[in-house]
Amino acid sequence: MHTTQDLLQFIFSGLTSGAVYALIALGFCVVSNTMGIVNFVQVDFVSLGGMLMFSALFAAGLPMVPGLLLAVTGVALLAMLVERVGLRPARSDHHLVLIFLTVGLSIILRGVMKLIWGKNRMALPPLTPDEPISILGATVLPQALWLLLLTCVAIGLLTWFFYRTSLGLSMRAVASNPTAAAVVGIPPGRIRMTSYALAGALGGLAGVLVTPITTLSYDVGVLLGLKGFAAAILGGFGSFPGAILGGVGLGLLESLSAGYLSSAYKDVVAFVVLLLVLFIRPKGLLGRS
């Protein structure tokens, strides 16, 4: 019968959304490791990635690859600006105040996006023409394959950055012990700004890749971003392998429960499982306690 085919189809769609959640979750983790806060602006980096791609393609008339690079760089630069102007001047180190500061900044960014690109839903073309490919009986969009591939590339680049470059090593030093990192002379401001740039690039990439599959609007990132946050928590907040595991896990959980249980309650299933995992492992799957 169709059961294996169906299963394969669900697994593919789960992996696709899982990859997006993983990218966003990685963005949350990078900022959390250097600043210890949940950066809710991450949510808007996703929408912004899609929006910049849209403008690069249609307003500037760029081809796909330069457009993608421009969109991702653009979001990264804007993220640095957000950190410098929006968070650095804060007169408090209470994490709750900082978290709600990011919520406020996120409202501002959404307002700006609404002003520039309007409230309408837009369609972003996929990287390559949309001809479904059949793999073992399951139908897959080329965009989904691009998404998986580029996510792997991004993870590879991130690993290289964190283990092979001096800036990446300093960032890991700050994550493991901020005081000791300050003592050996690692500038905290530059590290925070870099972490925001990385978070922006990851969110922007997620936005560029996923909006051709969903649709593009100024608030498309909100739900995706929340799922990314959930994925980061599921894996263990701040852990990079955890973010990837959490993202893929959450994506699979969602598509399988949508396929076999109920599509209306797929979020309920996903979040109930998340809560149950947290009750057993209060620091997530791979989190250090």
Number of Cβ atoms within 10 Å of the Cβ of 270: 24
Site string for other proteins, 147-166 (x = CB under 8 A): --------------------
Site for other proteins in 70-109 (CB under 8 A): 86, 89-92, 94-97, 99-101, 103-109
Of the pair 54, 237, the CB lying nearest other proteins is at 237
What are the residues whose beta carbons fall under 8 Å from the beta carbon of 254, sequence distance 6 or more? 14, 17, 227, 266, 267, 269, 270
Site for other proteins in 8-37 (CB under 8 A): 32
User: Which pair of structure tokens corresponds to residue 22?
Assistant: 């993983």
Of the pair 169, 278, the CB lying nearest other proteins is at 278
Of the pair 82, 140, the CB lying nearest other proteins is at 82
Question: Does residue 190 bind other proteins (CB under 8 A)?
Answer: no
Question: Does residue 202 bind other proteins (CB under 8 A)?
Answer: no
CA distances (Å), origin 102, targets 12, 90, 105, 144: 33, 11, 5, 31
Q: Smallest distance, Å, CB 219 to other proteins?
A: 10
Of the pair 106, 170, the CB lying nearest other proteins is at 106
What are the residues whose beta carbons fall under 8 Å from the beta carbon of 204, sequence distance 6 or more? 45, 46, 48, 49, 52, 71, 72, 74, 75, 76
Q: Which of 147, 210, 233, 243 binds other proteins (CB under 8 A)?
A: 233
Question: Does residue 213 bind other proteins (CB under 8 A)?
Answer: no
Q: Which of 135, 136, 157, 272 binds other proteins (CB under 8 A)?
A: 272
Q: Which of 237, 240, 250, 256 binds other proteins (CB under 8 A)?
A: 237
Of the pair 107, 133, the CB lying nearest other proteins is at 107
What are the residues whose beta carbons fall under 8 Å from the beta carbon of 68, sequence distance 6 or more? 53, 127, 208
User: Which pair of structure tokens corresponds to residue 113?
Assistant: 């996006």
Three-state DSSP class for 139? strand
Place of tokens 């007169």: 91
Question: Does residue 121 bind other proteins (CB under 8 A)?
Answer: no
Number of Cβ atoms within 10 Å of the Cβ of 185: 7
Number of residues that bind other proteins (CB under 8 A): 44
Q: Smallest distance, Å, CB 230 to other proteins?
A: 6
Give CA angle at 84 (79, 86), nearest 5°.
80
Number of Cβ atoms within 10 Å of the Cβ of 36: 14
Q: Which of 114, 121, 172, 190 binds other proteins (CB under 8 A)?
A: 114
What residues make contact with other proteins under the rule CB under 8 A? 32, 38, 86, 89-92, 94-97, 99-101, 103-112, 114-115, 226, 229-230, 233, 237, 264-265, 267-268, 271-272, 274-275, 278-279, 282-284
